[in-house]
Chain A
């Protein structure tokens, strides 16, 4: 069964009709962990706000758990959980007060659904008397997730929950999401971090209000047809310049400690390329053929 269905959704802002969401369609199955992956301005937040009934689309239709986002907005508000980008809990209430407030608003109690938040809540429980405004970023994020979960939502919307969070906390956050998925909660999450894409069941790569590609992370990577090379030298910045200037280069860019590159003739003439590099006085050169990552796929789609 589909938990979320979006059809031809378009959203513009202001007098200039700036396109934020450009005729987008997708659906998310019940219990799926679905990722909207893309930079600022891709349209992620607009989609979240339309699906959580906080914003009206200009055109198109959308439903969540079978409820229409316009006609049945009240039902949707009762059943979904939403964690916006910007921290939006009550700064003057304590951890405990915020949680009990959200439970009460949804006509439930902390005890009734404690199972669902236990793993996360125990990490912030020692500070439960502290005001939300005084918490660190990581703790705010955990509290916001608890508050979004306390009424046992059927679908959970998480808008950039890990932006600005360090890699260790990001990893822990994703482990929490995997555990929530086991509870059969549908999760739609957005992120600008490409490395998080592979942790989703399916992803939509987005840019400028459009979906560039939508599939499982594995299949997105498999669709990368060109032969991709990782190249390294002791002089990295000069290497990047040399790659840009090599006549056979299709695309080249830095990628961690390597440069990644694709070539026009699928690199049939490796010797000529090696000679070219050697002429440029690069030392410690290493060239290897590699599998593409989601980030490579995204770069190719943008190219």
Chain B
């Protein structure tokens, strides 16, 4: 992990909806090439925070810069420099594997030549060559997830945001997915990931846990377990989230 260069810098970032403070003065920094786990119970404010970081929602107050761009004034540049993948939004099921790659390559402004090279490279790496002409809808979920992640980083973004990327797949496929994450991080792409799997939290360099709109703790998994005097991230999470007042 390259120290020094910060690709996410948040200072008291806040989002209010009327009287409700969804995200309450969150302050943190993420380094280039870091795998950062963004955890919290349902309703803690993770999605709202992520939407602001992706340039999709204007903050109520506070400051943040993503890949060096301001979340108030440079949202278009932010969108060009990040990748995004979630369980809900990923690929077009009625397009083939190859068409999906070409489509997203086009959206990200890659040249035809670049798209061709990237497509070849990606199909090889994922072992999907023989499936290139199949509709994405017909692929097993695990393949869709891997393809979806690969497409999200097709344009070599500075940061990729992953919103619960591995739901519903078997333990082996889930680990293959994390191999892709590790590889991307090694190449210097920053990974910002939410998950409900606490063993996946352990794979992160650092994690934050949100409770009622605030970032309650932020540290490496090892340090968090030590400071809570427990042996698993599950217990850290449980101790913190149990104190939540806000309803789910």
Q: Which residues of A contact B (CB under 8 A)?
A: 38-41, 136-139, 163-171, 192-195, 207, 236-237, 240, 253-257, 295, 298-299, 302-303
Contacts and interface: CB of A to CB of B under 8 A. Distances in A.
Nearest to A142: B248
14 contacts: A41-B140, A136-B43, A138-B248, A164-B42, A165-B42, A165-B196, A166-B241, A169-B248, A192-B169, A207-B170, A253-B175, A254-B203, A257-B202, A302-B172
A163 B238 contact: no
A249 to B, nearest CB: 15
A257 B204 CA distance: 9
A89 to B, nearest CB: 17
Interface in B189-236: 196-199, 202-203, 221-222, 232-234
A257 B198 contact: no
Given A164-B167, A192-B167, A302-B171, A255 B199 contact: yes
A166 B42 contact: yes
B141 A164 contact: no
A89 B166 CA distance: 27
Interface of B: 40-43, 140-142, 164, 167-173, 175, 178-179, 182, 185-186, 196-199, 202-203, 221-222, 232-234, 237-238, 241-242, 244, 247-248
Given A138-B43, A138-B248, A164-B196, A39 B238 contact: no
**Listed residue (B41, B175, B238, B248) with the most chain A CB atoms within 10 angstroms of its CB:** B248
Contact of B196 (A166, A194, A256): A166
Contacts of B197: 193
Given A136-B247, A138-B248, A168 B242 contact: yes
A164 B222 CA distance: 25
B234 A167 contact: yes
Contacts of B232: 256
Given A255-B199, A257-B202, 9 more contacts: A40-B141, A41-B141, A168-B241, A168-B244, A237-B185, A253-B172, A256-B233, A295-B171, A299-B171
A168 B209 CA distance: 13
B233 A39 contact: no
Question: Which 5 A-B pairs give the minimum distances between C-beta atoms?
Answer: A39-B170, A138-B248, A256-B202, A40-B168, A256-B199
Contacts of B42: 136-138, 164-166, 169
B168 A167 contact: no
A8 to B, nearest CB: 24
Contacts of B171: 194, 295, 298-299, 302
A136 B248 contact: yes
A137 B167 CA distance: 16
A166 B203 contact: no
Nearest to A234: B222
Nearest to B238: A168
B172 A167 contact: no
Nearest to B244: A168
B50 to A, nearest CB: 15
B35 to A, nearest CB: 9
Contacts of B196: 164-167, 170
